[in-house]
């Protein structure tokens, strides 16, 4: 039996999402085949992930994020900013929101230029640093690899990222992998390309990824707010550094855009 679903498509610096208004909580979150189908760029709508916006008794809304592989993921920074824009589109909030995501509560506000400022969880304690890079959790796990100048553009992020994500250390739980090149001048952004777990490919941008990069880059002299350039556009990360190595007041800021909306006929999937 074919069913019809109403959807909205959003993107934040090129990281794109199918958004569903699931305030009635009817979507089966275990239906990985359906999520995978909707995210399929040939047979479905096409996206890096899918997000449900749901009612929650204690928050303005809840965001439930799935990676394109069909499974519920951890926090998605660009997806969080897009969910805020979607909630505003639906009239669930105006300029400020307090919502729940996989990693806990988040605050967000939208400024006069429609830039969404999303508060991320504090990153507590010292980060793991070894020959593989800097490993930290910004709501999702991230490995940050700093590269020599002028090597990022030519890097095969898919091949290198996949290798690291499937290395013995990360194989079981997986990790996102960010490749970074420092700014060419003081007024220039850090450049980042990311291989995403759950998409299992390079995406145009990753919000929790650039957050991890900004925090790791602060150990190399970057000061808040840090500007970051991804293949899909520019983001900014502000934070406070604590004496024990923790980061607090972490804000991810950037655009979140509604691209289109529509209906899709979904065949029964087996």
Ligand X SMILES: N[C@@H](CCC[C@H](N)C(=O)O)C(=O)O
Instruction: Quote the least distance from Cβ 239 to ligand X, whole Å.
Output: 16
Which position among 74, 83, 178, 191 is part of the footprint of ligand X (CB under 6 A)?
74
CA 218 to chain centre: 20
From the list 18-26, 109-117, 152-160, 195-203, the region that binds ligand X by CB under 6 A is 195-203
**16 or 21: CB nearest ligand X:** 16
DSSP strand pairing (59-67 vs 96-101): parallel
Q: Does 253 bind ligand X (CB under 6 A)?
A: no
Half-sphere exposure of 83 toward its Cβ, with a 13 Å CA cutoff? 34
* Residues touching ligand X, count (CB under 6 A): 19
From the list 37-45, 52-60, 184-192, 193-201, the region that binds ligand X by CB under 6 A is 193-201
> How far is residue 228's CA from residue 251's CA, in Å, rounded to a whole number?
13
Q: Does 255 bind ligand X (CB under 6 A)?
A: no
From the list 30-38, 165-173, 207-215, 260-268, the region that binds ligand X by CB under 6 A is 207-215
Q: Does 207 bind ligand X (CB under 6 A)?
A: yes
- Long-range Cβ contact pairs of 181-186 (< 8 A, separation 24 or more): 181/146, 181/147, 181/148, 181/149, 181/150, 181/151, 181/152, 182/146, 182/149, 182/217, 182/220, 184/149
Which of 84, 85, 143, 206 is catalytic? The answer is 206
Which position among 8, 37, 63, 73 is part of the footprint of ligand X (CB under 6 A)?
73
> How far is residue 135's CA from residue 81's CA, in Å, rounded to a whole number?
23
E-assigned strand segments in 120-210 = 128-130, 133-137, 141-146, 176-181, 190-196, 201-203
φ/ψ of 181, rounded to 5, equals -125, 135
Which position among 38, 51, 76, 92 is part of the footprint of ligand X (CB under 6 A)?
76
Task: Confirm whether residue 55 is marked as ligand binding.
Answer: no
Nearest to 116 by CA among 246, 265, 208, 253: 253
Active-site residue, 82 included: no
**Alpha-carbon torsion angle 175, 49, 218, 226, nearest 10:** 160
φ/ψ of 82, rounded to 5, equals -65, -35
Which position among 196, 212, 215, 250 is part of the footprint of ligand X (CB under 6 A)?
196
Binding mask 123-162 for ligand X (x = CB under 6 A): -----------------x----------------------
Annotated binding site for substrate: 15, 67, 77-78, 176, 196-197, 207-208
By annotation, the residues acting in catalysis are: 76, 206
Residues binding ligand X (CB under 6 A): 15, 67, 73-74, 76-79, 140, 176, 196-199, 203, 206-209
């Amino acid at each position: 039996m074919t069913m019809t679903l109403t959807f909205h498509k959003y993107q934040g610096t090129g990281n794109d999402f199918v958004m569903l208004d699931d305030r009635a909580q009817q979507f089966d979150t275990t239906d990985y085949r359906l999520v995978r189908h909707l995210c399929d760029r040939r047979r479905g709508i096409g996206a890096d992930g899918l997000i449900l916006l749901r009612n929650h008794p204690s928050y303005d809304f809840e965001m439930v994020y799935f990676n394109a592989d069909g499974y519920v993921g951890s926090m998605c920074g660009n997806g969080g900013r897009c969910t805020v824009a979607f909630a505003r589109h639906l009239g669930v909030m105006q300029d400020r929101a307090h919502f729940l995501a996989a990693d806990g509560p988040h605050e967000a506000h939208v400024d006069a230029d429609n830039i969404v400022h999303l508060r991320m969880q504090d990153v507590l304690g010292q980060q793991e640093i070894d020959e593989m890079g800097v490993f930290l959790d910004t709501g999702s796990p991230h490995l940050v690899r700093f590269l020599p100048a002028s090597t990022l553009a030519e890097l095969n992020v898919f091949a290198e990222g996949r290798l690291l994500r499937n290395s013995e250390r990360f194989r079981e739980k997986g990790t996102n992998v960010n490749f970074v090149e420092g700014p060419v001048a003081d007024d220039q952004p850090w450049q980042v390309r990311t291989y995403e777990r759950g998409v299992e490919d390079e995406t145009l941008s990753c919000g929790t990824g650039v957050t991890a990069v900004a925090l790791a880059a602060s150990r190399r002299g970057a000061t808040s707010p840090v500007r970051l350039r991804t293949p899909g556009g520019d983001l900014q990360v502000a934070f406070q550094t604590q004496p024990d190595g923790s980061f607090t007041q972490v804000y991810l800021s950037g655009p979140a855009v509604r691209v289109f909306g529509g209906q899709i006929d979904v065949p029964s999937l087996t």
